[in-house]
Chain A
């Protein structure tokens, strides 16, 4: 499958590229050169280094523009009228939030550091959860998680029902009406386009390259590598700067780990939040409740057996 990194395909096509990147002094490429087939890759974002230049945003657009939607107009009329059209095709230049045409943006926060008012800039995109609700709860199988931890939405399968957006704690996937499979089924009554979000440049990673945002960053804000190593690096860095970590435990753990000199509670207060503008609040594991209940499914047959045994006992007692 094209989206999965197989060790063989990686070794064939990727090592040379990765080696080239290492030779060129691009940080992180060496981490990808050692990638194992089934190891989740995580990114570490040291937000002290981010200067908000937007190079990552531009690189993301450049690398992914061929994946952006090209909707057919006029859009099919949808019934009932509650189903609203979501059209960003005339607002493709919007860069201050997530849209189907902008999968990464820079969030701004003005905070107090040691009595000095400081502006902090934070690159925001999909967190690529370890157990992503967008993927696991997609009713159609359009959202996929790759063994390297990347979650992506297949635009050829997605019907645009936006369930992934509703179950995402950060409001990441964004919808564009007028594209995708729903047009060929019941465009007036079911579906509403395709959901779009960061796929962490899965084809580039599969080819041993860095995601475009990491490669383009002039300040080396991001580092990529196996999740356990990235967590360790984040903890070491946080300890060194007396800082804070976000993303390691949120929603049961993500593959996007932020390290900040300011508590994330403060940053969350300072950033602009809303649709397409994810928060930095603590997030409980949204998948945990039902998953914990699954243990009861193992015990359920024993309960059934106990009830049947009780009935057999009563019957035997009454009938001697």
Chain B
């Protein structure tokens, strides 16, 4: 391992990203699915410690917190890639795929956030389309992420 590798792999921000990212994705997915009235019906909120999943305002708040963290992580990784690592690593095919899906999730999520402010009137058709896109992108992202986890596909590889 050369000096550069030692420096970037031991950076505090990288270690934080490595552990925080999967935990954040888990909570985003958990609270995202919690926007549908399913956890109480299917006894999920009866599990000790998960009672909060039955409260729609709490799940929405936690989802927003997760979104703030996700945006921080994404912007950090993008800036980090362009400022430090572009010359030594490249984004893999599965990395691009996950990146595009994540970008779609973020974009549709931002539109949801805007919709929830007072005074914003989105048409019913647009909201339904937005719902289906957000949910579809999340499902695809989770499936691709699972595939990458099982087959050890990384976001980036050495140039």
Contacts and interface: CB of A to CB of B under 8 A. Distances in A.
B56 to A, nearest CB: 5
Contacts of B11: 311, 314-315
A23 interface: no
> How many A residues are at the interface, by size bracket?
35 or more
Contacts of B35: 137, 139
Contacts of B116: 131, 136-137, 287, 290-291, 294
A301 interface: yes
Interface in B56-95: 56-57, 60-61, 64-65, 67-69, 71-80, 83-84
B76 A308 contact: yes
Interface in A97-155: 130-131, 136-137, 139-142, 144-147, 154
B75 A304 contact: yes
Interface residues of B, number: 50
B159 interface: no
A289 interface: yes
Contacts, number: 139
Contacts of B84: 308, 311-312, 315
A82 interface: yes
A262 to B, nearest CB: 30
A297 B7 contact: no
A241 interface: no
Given A136-B115, A162-B37, A297-B68, A304 B131 contact: no
Contacts of A185: none
Nearest to A162: B37
B23 interface: no
B42 interface: yes
Contacts of A296: 68
Interface in B101-159: 110, 113, 115-119, 121, 123-124, 127-128, 130-131
Interface of B: 3-4, 7-8, 11, 13-14, 35-38, 40-43, 56-57, 60-61, 64-65, 67-69, 71-80, 83-84, 110, 113, 115-119, 121, 123-124, 127-128, 130-131
Given A80-B43, A82-B40, A162-B37, 17 more contacts: A131-B118, A131-B119, A137-B56, A140-B128, A141-B128, A154-B124, A157-B128, A287-B116, A290-B64, A291-B116, A293-B61, A301-B72, A303-B72, A304-B71, A308-B13, A308-B80, A315-B8
Interface of A: 1, 80, 82-83, 130-131, 136-137, 139-142, 144-147, 154, 157, 161-163, 166-167, 190, 252-253, 286-287, 289-291, 293-294, 296-297, 300-305, 307-312, 314-315, 318-319
A-B pairs with lowest CB-CB distance, top 4: A304-B75, A304-B76, A308-B79, A131-B118
29 contacts: A80-B42, A130-B119, A131-B119, A136-B116, A137-B60, A141-B131, A157-B124, A157-B128, A162-B37, A163-B56, A286-B57, A291-B116, A293-B68, A297-B67, A297-B110, A300-B71, A300-B72, A301-B71, A303-B72, A304-B74, A304-B76, A305-B76, A307-B72, A307-B76, A311-B13, A312-B83, A314-B11, A315-B4, A315-B8
